[in-house]
Each structure stands twice: as C-alpha cells, then as structure tokens.
Amino acid sequence: MYLNLHFITFSLSLRWEEERYTDGSKWRFLEHKGPVFAPPYEPLPDNVRFFYDGKAMKLSESAEEVATFFAKMLDHEYTTKDIFRKNFFKDWRKEMTSEEKSKITDLNKCNFREMSEYFKAQTEARKQMTKEEKLKIKEENERIVQEYGFCLMDNHKERIGNFRIEPPGLFRGRGDHPKMGMLKRRIRPEDIIINCSKDSKHPKPPPGTRWKEVRHDNKVTWLVSWTENIQGSIKYIMLNPSSRIKGEKDWQKYETARQLKKCVERIRAQYHEDWKSKEMRIRQRAVALYFIDKLALRAGNEKEEGETADTVGCCSLRVEHIKLYPELDGQDYVVEFDFLGKDSIRYYNKIPVEKRVFKNLQLFMESKQPEDDLFDRLNTSILNKHLQELMEGLTAKVFRTYNASITLQQQLKQLTSPEENAPAKILSYNRANRAVNLTKKSMQNLQTKIDAKKQQLSAAKKELKSAKVDAKTMHDEKSRKALETKKKAVARLSDQLMKLEVQATDREENKQIALGTSKLNYLDPRISVAWCKKWGVGIEKIYNKTQREKFAWAIDMADEDFEF
DNA sequence: AACTGAACTTAGAAGAGAACGG
DNA sequence: CCGTTCTCTTCTAAGTTCAGTT
C-alpha cells in the first residue's frame, strides 16, 4: 500500500519538478528524529587484563577504550603495518593519563591478547544465543529503525540511508593510506548539525546535551552532518536510494547519458581532430578524453600529497604510469597502463591506440621525469569545462554511464534469442551484463593470488624433496616427522591452488563484485526492466529486493520498447 | 585560473542472514 | 541439525562535481 502511494506521488513530483523546484530547492518540508548515537563505552570486566612488558596493568577508561579498538583488530593485517601501528600508538598515547604515558612507551611491549580473546568469546556467545534471544534483539533493532530510520519529506515517509552515527574506532584507509590507524573520535551531540524544516518538529538532543546547530537549508538533501576528525571532511546522513530524491537524481543521471548518446559521435570526431591541434593543452585534453571514453577511466582529481593514498585517475596520470611500445606482440602503437585507481585497485591494461595518440603521448612524455604529470596542461576542471561546452550537463563520469548502458543494451539485443526458455534467457542476461565489464579487477587479483600460490607450492615441493632425501639417509624419527609435515603442506597448497583455479574459470563468480557495482551505478535500469517485460522474465530474477526498491522509478516507468 | 569546501555518487570490506550439503 | 558457503545489507572510505572566494 505504501509502495503504491509512493509511485503516485513520485510520478506527480516528476511532473511538478520544473514548476516547483526551479530555484534549486530540494524540499519544502522535512521532519526527522535525528541520529542514533553509538552506544557508550562499556569498561571491560576485571578478569580481562592488559599486559605491558609481561605485567598486568589496569588502564584508565579512555585509554582502555582505545586499546580495545586495537584488540578487536588484532587478527587483521592492518595491525602488522608500521604506519598503522605508529599512528595508533601516537593517538592512543593522547588518551592516556600522564602516568600511563610514562609507563607505556613501546607498542611492541603491549599485550592485547586477553582483550582480543574476550571479544572473540563474545562474538561466539552471540552466535550461540537461543532463537528467542535473537528474536528479542531483532525486535529491538526493528523498533529503532521504525523510530529513527524514517523521515517525512514533502508528505512522504522516506527511508533514511544511514541514521546511525559512525562509532569511534581506528581509521581503516584503503591501500597505503598515511593516516591508517589514527583514532576516529566519538561523535557527541555537540558535534552535530541538524537540518530540517522550520515548521517541523525538531529532533531533540539526548538529555543534558545540545546540538551544535539546527539549520533549515532546503537547498541540500541531508538531514544530519558532522565533521570527521581524520581528514576534516563532513559526513552526512541522507536518504535511502529508494527515496524520491535519490531516485529522481538517478533518473536524471541516465537521462544525461542518453543525451550523450545523441552527440557522442560528434564529440569523438571532435577529439580526433583535436589530436592535431597546434595547442598542447588541447591535444592533452583530447587524448585524455579519448582514454575516458575508450577505457572508462575516471576523471582523476588532484589529491593532497600525504593526506591520502597515492592513487590516480585519467587527468592525474603520471609518466611512470604508462609505457609505450611502438610494436608489441604483432600490434602497433601499444600503450601499457599500470597504476592504482580508486580504492587503490590496480589498473593494468595494454591497448593498441591510433598512431596519432601514440605520437602525442611521446610528445607529452618528452623530457619529463617519471613522477611528472602526463597531462601537465590539464585537470578535471578544465576537462569538465570543455565537456560542458560540448553538451549541457556533460562531465567525465557520464562516459562511464553511457558506455556501460549502451553496451548492455547492445549485448542484450545480440545475445537474447526469442526461442530460448526462461533460464536460458537469464543466462543471456548475465552474459550481456558481464560483457559490460568496467574493470578486470577481480580477475587481476585472482591471477596474482594464483601466481603467489604456485610459487609457494613449488617451494614446498622442493622442501618435500629434500625432506625425503633426509628421511632416507637418516632413518630417524625426527626426519620422518618432518617429511610428514612437508607432505601435508604440499597437499594443502595444491588444494588451495586448485580452489583458486576453479574460481578463476568460474567467470560467473569472480566478476561478481565489479558486476554488482555496474548494475547498481552505471546501467540504466530501464534497459533491464524493458528486457524483462519484453521476454516475460520476472524482474525479481534480475534485481533483488533492495535493487527493486532503488529502481522502483524505472520499474514503474519503462515499458517493453524502452530504448536507452 | 587556482584554491577550498560542500554535497553528493560510487566503492569495497565486513557483518548478518539465508541456503546448502554432509 | 549443524557447520560452511553464498547472498544480501550495512558501513564508511574514496571518488566526482560544483559553487564560492581570492
């Protein structure tokens, strides 16, 4: 019932939008209950001890809390990394009393084992709870969601995406992040800015506290914000993807991509021309745009050095990230890319390019150091300004959306045969989906794992051989035992290798992650909806519940002859 | 044009829950 | 039925874009 209501008003609001919100306002009425704060720290029982230099030591509450953050991560690779340990220890010391500070001077002498065991036991106990106990917790959670998980925006009850404030903990950056291990501090009501409409019932801060600010800004979509202490950036509480405001935005995004479809050939012709320009900046712009279009590279903003992991996108590529081969494996003008992109995911690719692109790249690299920018006359704002002139609303990321969506549509047309049955149809859909393949990431990672495993295996085999020799010559208990261990190691490793190889051949499986991302963010859902309607395939075969909620606008809107 | 901050989208990791196989 | 595996959900980091300021 709620869903129906939702649809009706949603389509109405589409019709209204132009009249009603031309001033850039996002809503008229907004009411919510504010955020849910992280539960307060519960001190450890006395039998769970911390040891320093072999001796038990009772920590002050604030030092203990931070210690538990580390203890909870003890099994994680992070805690072995130097930067993580250094950052953690520095921030931990800030939470210590002066006495603790003078005693605890070396992280290597800290023993968090009992704490770690205690938390593991707790997790285990939670798993072992009876059905009734679990149900009780579930109901309590449900109650919180009912109270805090929804808001009222312009006469609609909408789900909120993240209504819980991020709990304190240790910062986990991705890749080689210089700030990993730093203490993410606890957020208090005094840090919180509330956004709601004046005429709404304002959320109340917890007893005895106050909000930092209550504002009424209807030019933005967020309900709650605070400033995070690691990077100093602002965090927001916003609505769920199923909400009207997010759905409209998503729809708009795909409409822009469809606009691009109409003029992409013109734009391509233009950048081909620009490869010949007299001006360096125009050539660089044209080559970068070619990469973005052809390889689905991200725009690549410049980043502050030392604040984040060293990753790049198109505009921020450096000379060291590409290699030029006038000829390679029988192909002419091959460019090899090797760099870390978003989330420090490695991008590795070899592609043949037009001679003109190749010559341009040679020119851009001339008399530069490896760490110099490849496109020294270009950045994302220059590029996007140019794109804006080529088409209203065009930015670098539209190319990813456009290319992913158009490929899905083409592949679906090509791969679906009318006579095949329902399961075969779904297989065709998955194949089409797979063809989109924005990134070779998971394959790449798997191959690295396989290579590593092969190496381990051959090393283990060598050891086994020498152990065999030892056992034969010595005939003693010790060498016989050693032989057994080696045998087991080889068996284990070859088992693991086999598993990995099976995974690798199972294409379905290992592109799942990249697939999920493109399904959620790059593929116009109306293409899939239309396909389902055309072939009588249930939409739930393609989209799970969450996805159907997010794409409700498309399910409602697209009929079987929708064309991207 | 360069810089900065704000707002919003995109992303993988981790945790929770459902399904599967012995 | 229970442990394992697969799938979905949640969490929050890491991008892009845009607007305002110098």
Chain A 194-233 residues whose Cβ is under 7 Å from strand C:
228, 230
**What are the φ/ψ torsions at residue A370 (nearest 5 degrees)?**
-55, -35
**What are the φ/ψ torsions at residue A437 (nearest 5 degrees)?**
30, 75
Superfamily of domain A246-394: Topoisomerase I; Chain A, domain 3 (3.90.15.10)
In CATH terms, are A30-38+134-240 and A414-557 the same topology?
no
Opening angle at CA A277, ends A274 and A283, nearest 5? 60
> Mean pLDDT lowest for which of A266-270, A423-427, A431-435, A438-442?
A438-442
- pLDDT tens-place string over residues A293-328: 999 999 999 999 889 999 999 999 999 999 999 999
Over range A95-100, report the average pLDDT: 97
Q: In the predicted model, is pLDDT for residue A253 greater than 90?
A: yes
Cα(A335)–Cα(A358) distance, integer angstroms? 8
- Spanning CA of A332 to C1' of B7, the rounded length in angstroms is 44
What pLDDT is stored for residue A4 in this prediction? 32
Cα(A311)–Cα(A231) distance, integer angstroms? 16
Nearest protein residue to nucleotide B16 (CA to C1' distance) is: A127
Cα(A180)–Cα(A86) distance, integer angstroms? 9
Q: Is A112 left (phi over 0), alpha (psi -120 to 50) or beta?
A: alpha
Contact predicate A251/A342, CB 8 Å: no
Q: Are strands A213-215 and A193-195 parallel, antiparallel or unpaired?
A: parallel
Contact predicate A532/A558, CB 8 Å: no
Q: Residue A206's pLDDT band (boundaries 50, 70, 90)?
A: very high
Among residues A254, A290, A522, A543, the one annotated as catalytic is A522
Identify the helix (H) or strand (E) that includes residue A103: helix A98-103
Nucleotides of B under 7 A from a protein CB: 2-3, 6-14, 17
- Spanning CA of A311 to C1' of C7, the rounded length in angstroms is 31
Over range A366-389, report the average pLDDT: 95
What pLDDT is stored for residue A61 in this prediction? 96
Q: In the predicted model, is pLDDT for residue A116 greater than 70?
A: yes
Chain A 324-363 residues whose Cβ is under 7 Å from strand C:
341-344
What pLDDT is stored for residue A15 in this prediction? 36
Residues 6 or more apart whose Cβ sits within 8 Å of residue A487: A464
Opening angle at CA A522, ends A319 and A11, nearest 5? 145
Q: Say whether A522 is catalytic.
A: yes
- A543: the nucleotide nearest its CA (via C1') is C8
Residue linked to tokens 């840090």: A191
Contact predicate A231/A217, CB 8 Å: no
Q: Which 8-state DSSP code applies to residue A319? A: G
Q: In the predicted model, is pLDDT for residue A30 greater than 60?
A: yes
Q: Please name which of A374, A206, A407, A223 lies closest in space to residue A285, comparing C-alpha atoms.
A: A374
Nearest protein residue to nucleotide B15 (CA to C1' distance) is: A123
> Mean pLDDT lowest for which of A165-174, A408-417, A488-497?
A488-497
Nearest protein residue to nucleotide C12 (CA to C1' distance) is: A166
Superfamily of domain A30-38+134-240: DNA Topoisomerase I, domain 2 (2.170.11.10)
What pLDDT is stored for residue A264 in this prediction? 97
- A400: the nucleotide nearest its CA (via C1') is B10
Question: What proportion of chain A, given as a percentage, has pLDDT over 70?
Answer: 84
Chain A 503-562 residues whose Cβ is under 7 Å from strand C:
512, 544-546
As a three-state string, the secondary structure of A5-54 is HHHHHHHHHHHHHHHHCCCCCCCCCEECCCCECCCCCCCCCCCCCEEECC
Q: How far is CA A346 from the centre of its chain?
A: 14
Domain residue limits, chain A: 30-38+134-240, 50-128, 246-394, 414-557
Average pLDDT of the residues of chain A: 87
Over range A361-386, report the average pLDDT: 96
Contact predicate A186/A38, CB 8 Å: yes
Cα(A484)–Cα(A493) distance, integer angstroms? 14
Q: Please name which of A472, A469, A471, A466 lies closest in space to residue A490, comparing C-alpha atoms.
A: A466
Instruction: State the amino acid at position A86 in one-letter form.
Output: K
Question: What proportion of chain A, given as a percentage, has pLDDT over 90?
Answer: 70
Identify the helix (H) or strand (E) that includes residue A280: helix A280-295
Identify the helix (H) or strand (E) that includes residue A533: helix A525-535
Nucleotides of C under 7 A from a protein CB: 7-19
SS percent in chain A: helix, strand, coil, step 5: 55, 10, 35
Q: Are strands A150-153 and A30-31 parallel, antiparallel or unpaired?
A: antiparallel
Opening angle at CA A77, ends A74 and A80, nearest 5? 75
What pLDDT is stored for residue A441 in this prediction? 40
Cα(A181)–Cα(A165) distance, integer angstroms? 20
Q: Which 8-state DSSP code applies to residue A177? A: -
Q: Is A60 left (phi over 0), alpha (psi -120 to 50) or beta?
A: beta
A195: β partners: A215
What CATH number was assigned to the domain covering residues A50-128? 1.10.10.41
- Spanning CA of A388 to C1' of C18, the rounded length in angstroms is 12
- pLDDT tens-place string over residues A49-89: 999 999 999 999 999 999 999 999 998 989 999 999 999 99
The answer to whether the beta carbon of residue A242 comes closer than 7 angstroms to any atom of strand B is no
Q: Residue A476's pLDDT band (boundaries 50, 70, 90)?
A: low
Opening angle at CA A525, ends A520 and A528, nearest 5? 115
- A73: the nucleotide nearest its CA (via C1') is B14
What pLDDT is stored for residue A419 in this prediction? 84
What pLDDT is stored for residue A6 in this prediction? 36
Q: In the predicted model, is pLDDT for residue A440 greater than 70?
A: no
Nearest protein residue to nucleotide C13 (CA to C1' distance) is: A173
Contact predicate A30/A202, CB 8 Å: no
Q: Select from 1.10.132.10, 1.10.10.10, 1.10.1040.10, 3.30.310.10 the CATH code of A414-557.
A: 1.10.132.10
Q: Please name which of A408, A378, A384 lies closest in space to residue A521, comparing C-alpha atoms.
A: A408
Tell me how far apart the terminal alpha carbons of chain A are, to the nearest angstrom: 30
Q: What are the DSSP calls for A486-528, one per residue? A: HHHHHHHHHHHHHHHHHHHH-HHHHTHHHHHHHHHHTS-HHHH
Over range A81-107, report the average pLDDT: 97
Residue linked to tokens 């890319």: A337
Contact predicate A241/A553, CB 8 Å: no
Q: How far is CA A81 from CA A13, A172, A370, A426, in A?
A: 52, 12, 27, 45
Cα(A298)–Cα(A301) distance, integer angstroms? 9
Q: E strands of A172-321, at which residues?
A: 183-184, 193-195, 213-215, 224-227, 234-237
Cα(A156)–Cα(A7) distance, integer angstroms? 11
**What are the φ/ψ torsions at residue A314 (nearest 5 degrees)?**
-55, -60
